[in-house]
């Protein structure tokens, strides 16, 4: 303990700067890791959605053609049957697109854990500085 008090002030300041720098670098690494986790989850979800969309488009197309055929059998002309199915499909697609956009806007990409660590570090530094 006695040797620590005899160190020059410049050396103490340099040590504090080095430790704060190391702390900030660690916090930045944590932010990077947390953001990578969030983006990888987002990317894998996007790939799954792409595959699902491709399969569903094919299935929907066949289903719509079947509905058109049933409407023709029921007495509608092919033009009216196609138009009716197209309008209903576009309306439903618009509703799903609106809900999807709203869901994407709610996505939380803020690195909450890392920000909390930084807040705690700042609080600790302020406590020890006073």
Task: Spell 90-110 as b/e; 16+ CB within 10 A means b.
Answer: eeeeeeeeeeeeeeeeeeeee
Residue 124: count other Cβ atoms within 10 Å of its Cβ.
11
Per-residue pLDDT at 96: 92
Read off the pLDDT band of 19 (50, 70, 90). Answer: confident
Sign of CA dihedral 66, 70, 75, 76: negative
Q: Show me where the domains of the chain are located.
A: 7-129
Task: Look at residue 63 and tell me whether its pLDDT is greater than 90.
Answer: yes
pLDDT single digits (tens) 33-42: 888 888 888 8
CA distance 118 to 24: 8
> Average pLDDT of 46-75?
93
The Cβ-side half-sphere exposure at 117, using a 13 Å CA radius, reads 14
**CA dist 28 → 50, 55, 56, 62, 111 (Å):** 32, 41, 41, 51, 11
Task: Look at residue 129 and tell me whether its pLDDT is greater than 70.
Answer: no
Per-residue pLDDT at 33: 86
CA distance 86 to 84: 5
Per-residue pLDDT at 2: 46
pLDDT single digits (tens) 67-121: 999 999 999 999 999 999 999 999 999 999 999 888 887 777 777 777 788 888 8
Q: How far is CA 47 from the centre of its chain?
A: 13
Per-residue pLDDT at 70: 96
Beta strand extents in 12-113 (DSSP E only): none
Average pLDDT, the chain: 85
Task: Return the residue matching tokens 């983006």.
Answer: 39
Per-residue pLDDT at 1: 45
């Amino acid at each position: 303990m006695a040797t620590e008090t005899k160190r020059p002030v410049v050396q103490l300041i340099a040590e504090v700067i080095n430790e704060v720098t190391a702390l900030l670098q660690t916090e930045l690494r944590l932010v990077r890791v947390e953001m990578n986790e969030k983006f990888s989850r987002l990317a894998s979800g996007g790939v799954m959605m792409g595959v699902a969309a491709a399969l569903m488009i094919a299935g929907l197309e066949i289903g719509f053609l079947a509905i058109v055929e049933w409407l023709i059998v029921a007495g509608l002309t092919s033009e009216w049957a196609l138009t009716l199915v197209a309008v209903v499909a576009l309306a439903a697609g618009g509703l799903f697109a609106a809900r999807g956009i709203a869901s994407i806007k709610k996505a939380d990409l803020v690195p909450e854990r890392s920000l909390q660590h930084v807040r705690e570090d700042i609080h600790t530094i302020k406590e020890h500085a006073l």
